[in-house]
Amino acid sequence: MGKRKLGALEKVEADLPNLQHKIRRDPKSYVEDFRAQHYQYESHREIFMAAPSSATDTGIISLRDLIDFISHVADCYPDITKDFPQQLMDMLTQHHAVLEPELREKIVTSLVLLRKKEIIDSATLLHTLFPILVSTSSKTLRALLFQKILSDLRSSNSKTTNHKLNRTMQTVLFNLVTSDRTSSKSLWAIKLTRELWKRQIWTDAKAVEIMKETCLSDNEKVIVGGVRFFLGGDKEREEMEDESSDDDGIDVARVKHQVGINKKTKKKARQIEKAIATVKKKERKKNQPHPLNFSALHLLHDPQGFAENLFGKHLQNTKTKLNLEQKLLVLQLVSRLVGLHKLHVISLYSYFQKYLTPKQPSVTSFLASLAQASHNLVPPDALEPLVQKIANEFVSEASAAEVASAGLNAIREICVRQPLAMNETLLQDLVMYKKSKDKGVMMAAKGLLGLYREVGAEMLRKRDRGKEAAMSLRAGERKEKRYGEEEIGEIEGLELLEKYKEEERRKKRLEKGLPSDAEDEDEEEDDEANWANWNVEEDEDSDDSGGWIDVQSDEEIVISDSEDDEPPAKKAKQDGDNNENADNDKPAEEGSEEKEKKPTNNLATTRILTPADLAKLQELRTQASVNALLPGAKRRAQAQTNSARHIDDPLTAAEIEGLAALSAGKATREEKIAHVKEMKTDRDEHKSIAARRKERKEAQGKSTTNKEKARKKNFMMTLGKAKSKGKRSLVETRRVLKAHHERQKKGGRRGNYG
How would residue 721 be classed by pLDDT, with cut points 50, 70 and 90? Answer: confident
pLDDT tens-place string over residues 184-239:
899 999 999 999 998 888 988 999 999 999 999 999 999 999 999 998 877 777 77
448-459 average pLDDT score: 89
The residue with greater pLDDT, 7 or 218, is: 218
Return the closest-CA partner of residue 215 out of 173, 167, 172, 177: 177
Is a pLDDT exceeding 50 seen at residue 335?
yes
The most confident of 307-321, 501-515, 637-651, by mean pLDDT:
307-321
Judge contact between 329 and 231, C-beta under 8 A: yes
What letter would DSSP give residue 157?
T
The residue with greater pLDDT, 734 or 552, is: 734
Distance CA 345, CA 641 (A): 25
How would residue 481 be classed by pLDDT, with cut points 50, 70 and 90? Answer: confident
Distance CA 586, CA 171 (A): 71
Summary mean pLDDT of the chain? 79
Distance CA 409, CA 448 (A): 8
662-669 average pLDDT score: 61
What letter would DSSP give residue 551?
P
Question: HEC string of 253-312?
Answer: HHHHHHHHHCCCCHHHHHHHHHHHHHHHHHHHHHHCCCCCCCCCCCCCCCHHHHHHHHHH
Tell me the H-state helices in 401-548.
Answer: 401-417, 424-431, 439-455, 467-475, 494-511, 523-532
513-520 average pLDDT score: 63
Q: Residues 395, 400, 406, 408: what is their CA dihedral angle, to the nearest 10 degrees?
A: 30
Q: What percent of the chain stands above pLDDT 70?
A: 75
What letter would DSSP give residue 315?
I
Is a pLDDT exceeding 50 seen at residue 423?
yes
Judge contact between 372 and 339, C-beta under 8 A: yes
Is a pLDDT exceeding 80 seen at residue 248?
no
pLDDT tens-place string over residues 259-302:
666 677 777 777 777 777 777 776 665 555 545 567 888 889 99
Task: Using alpha carbons, list the distances in angstroms from residue 78 to 9, 100, 109, 264.
Answer: 22, 28, 19, 41
Is a pLDDT exceeding 50 seen at residue 546?
no
Is a pLDDT exceeding 70 seen at residue 674?
yes
Distance CA 73, CA 399 (A): 78
Judge contact between 226 and 214, C-beta under 8 A: yes
User: Coil, helix or strand for 45?
Assistant: helix
The residue with greater pLDDT, 381 or 506, is: 381
Q: What is the pLDDT of residue 288?
A: 52
Q: Which residues fall within 8 angstroms of residue 327, CB to CB, at 6 or more apart? A: 314, 315, 320
pLDDT tens-place string over residues 28-38:
888 998 999 99
- Give the least confident one: 170-174, 214-218, 254-258, 426-430: 254-258
Go through 145-158 and write b for each residue having 16 or more CB atoms within 10 A of its CB, e for each that does not. bbebbbebbeebbe
Judge contact between 406 and 364, C-beta under 8 A: yes
pLDDT tens-place string over residues 603-655:
767 777 788 888 888 888 777 766 655 555 444 444 444 444 545 677 888 88
Torsion sign over Cα 332, 337, 342, 347: negative
Judge contact between 271 and 255, C-beta under 8 A: yes
156-179 average pLDDT score: 91
Q: What is the pLDDT of residue 637?
A: 42
Q: What percent of the chain stands above pLDDT 90?
A: 34
Q: What is the pLDDT of residue 682?
A: 64
551-573 average pLDDT score: 43
Ordered DSSP codes for 339-378: HHHT---THHHHHTGGG-STTSTTHHHHHHHHHHT--TTS
Is a pLDDT exceeding 60 seen at residue 598?
no
Q: What is the pLDDT of residue 738?
A: 93
Q: What is the pLDDT of residue 485?
A: 77
Q: What is the pLDDT of residue 244?
A: 57
Q: What is the pLDDT of residue 536?
A: 44
Q: What is the pLDDT of residue 498?
A: 83
479-500 average pLDDT score: 77
Is a pLDDT exceeding 90 seen at residue 350?
yes
Other C-beta atoms lying within 10 Å of the C-beta of residue 670: 8
Return the closest-CA partner of residue 125 out of 137, 136, 139, 110: 110
Q: What is the pLDDT of residue 541?
A: 43
Q: What is the pLDDT of residue 748?
A: 77
Q: What is the pLDDT of residue 667?
A: 65
Return the closest-CA partner of residue 161 out of 203, 220, 224: 203
Is a pLDDT exceeding 50 seen at residue 66?
yes
Judge contact between 481 and 490, C-beta under 8 A: no
Q: State the burial class of residue 412 (Cβ atoms within 10 Å of its Cβ: 0-12, 13-18, 19+).
A: buried
Phi/psi class of residue 580: alpha, beta or left (left: φ > 0; alpha: ψ in -120 to 50)? alpha
Other C-beta atoms lying within 10 Å of the C-beta of residue 679: 7
Phi/psi class of residue 599: alpha, beta or left (left: φ > 0; alpha: ψ in -120 to 50)? beta
User: Coil, helix or strand for 116?
Assistant: helix
Amino acid identity at 451: L
Q: What is the pLDDT of residue 624?
A: 73
The residue with greater pLDDT, 64 or 492, is: 64
Put simply, whether the predicted model's pTM sits higher than 0.85 gets the answer no
Is a pLDDT exceeding 70 seen at residue 159?
yes
Is a pLDDT exceeding 70 seen at residue 553?
no
Q: Which residues fall within 8 angstroms of residue 68, CB to CB, at 6 or more apart? A: 16, 106, 110
Judge contact between 590 and 579, C-beta under 8 A: no
pLDDT tens-place string over residues 525-540:
555 555 555 544 444 4
80-99 average pLDDT score: 90
Go through 702-722 and write b for each residue having 16 or more CB atoms within 10 A of its CB, e for each that does not. eeeeeeeeeeeeeeeeeeeee
How would residue 567 be classed by pLDDT, with cut points 50, 70 and 90? Answer: very low
Return the closest-CA partner of residue 298 out of 203, 378, 213: 203
